[in-house]
């Protein structure tokens, strides 16, 4: 049985977040608002829950699940090396619509799919998401939709696709950005953009000091 909790009303927001925290800690799936799109998530270190997330989306381990964090400092325990470029991008764009593919710390006991030693990390700019993440720790979160269908920008769109596979839906209103995050690969040498979305290549190039053409792999 799924439940929907309202985080748009200050009177019910704390209850909504408490309910979602309990669901995550119990190994359940939750749908949560972020700044870019709604996400379906679970405890990143609960491998059974991650498998349930992949099943709910209808996709396999060949498309690993990203991880959302609730603070800048959390990233340092998740990566093999906290590099200069990582730090610059975190300071410039987190919280916000930038995801980074980085080499993960080798000792982490999670199984997010066929990551080949990497993990995609982001800190979303949404107060409900941040509070949830600060209380649960890192969450495996993918867009709240069936693979191949339109990503959800509100809770009803997510419910229409994911139904009873999700334990708790958090209604946080309409996603303010409404497009996916930009993905930058920092794990394979020179930085490059894998997907351009909420943050432009031009803004990222200014921070990293390389051209947007280089970032796009055009030179």
Q: Please state the φ and ψ torsions of residue 101, each to the nearest 5 degrees.
A: -90, 120
Check residue 88 and give its pLDDT. Answer: 97
Mean pLDDT, the chain, integer: 96
Q: Span 90-108, mean pLDDT? A: 97
For residue range 51-81, what is the model confidence (pLDDT) as tens digits? 999 999 999 999 899 999 999 999 999 999 9
Q: Span 86-95, mean pLDDT? A: 98
Instruction: Please name the residue that has the structure tokens 């495996």.
Output: 140
For residue range 142-170, what is the model confidence (pLDDT) as tens digits? 999 999 999 999 999 999 999 999 999 99
Check residue 218 and give its pLDDT. Answer: 87
Check residue 163 and give its pLDDT. Answer: 97
Instruction: Please name the residue that has the structure tokens 């040498």.
Output: 189
Q: How far is Cα 30 from Cα 41, in angstroms, rounded to an integer?
A: 5
Domains of the chain: residue spans and CATH = 3-216 (3.90.870.10)
Check residue 33 and give its pLDDT. Answer: 98
Tell me the whole-structure pTM to 2 decimals: 0.96
Q: How far is Cα 168 from Cα 105, in angstroms, rounded to an integer?
A: 30
- E strand or H helix that includes residue 156: helix 155-162
Which residues is 24 bridged to in the sheet?
none
- E strand or H helix that includes residue 92: helix 84-93
Check residue 1 and give its pLDDT. Answer: 85
**Per-residue pLDDT for 37 more than 90?**
yes
* Beta strands at 182-185 and 98-103: parallel, antiparallel or unpaired: parallel
DSSP 3-state assignment of 2? coil
């Amino acid at each position: 049985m799924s439940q929907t909790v309202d985080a748009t009303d200050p009177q019910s927001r704390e209850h909504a977040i408490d309910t979602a925290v309990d669901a995550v800690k119990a190994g359940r799936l939750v749908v949560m608002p972020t700044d870019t799109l709604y996400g379906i998530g679970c405890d990143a270190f609960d491998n059974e829950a991650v498998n349930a997330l992949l099943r709910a989306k209808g996709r396999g381990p060949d498309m690993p699940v990203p991880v959302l964090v609730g603070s800048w400092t959390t990233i340092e325990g998740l990566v093999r090396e906290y590099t200069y470029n990582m730090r610059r991008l975190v300071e410039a764009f987190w919280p916000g619509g930038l995801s980074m593919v980085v080499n993960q710390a080798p000792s982490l006991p999670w199984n997010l799919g066929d990551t080949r030693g990497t993990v995609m990390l982001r800190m979303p700019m949404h107060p409900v998401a941040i509070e949830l993440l600060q209380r649960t720790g890192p969450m495996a979160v993918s867009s709240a939709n069936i693979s191949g269908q339109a990503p959800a920008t509100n809770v009803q769109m997510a419910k229409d696709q994911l139904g009873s596979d999700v334990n708790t839906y958090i209604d946080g209103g309409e996603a303010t950005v409404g497009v996916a995050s930009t993905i930058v690969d920092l794990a394979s040498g020179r930085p490059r953009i894998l997907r351009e979305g909420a943050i432009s290549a031009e803004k990222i190039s200014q921070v990293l000091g390389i051209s947007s053409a280089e970032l796009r792999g055009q030179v």
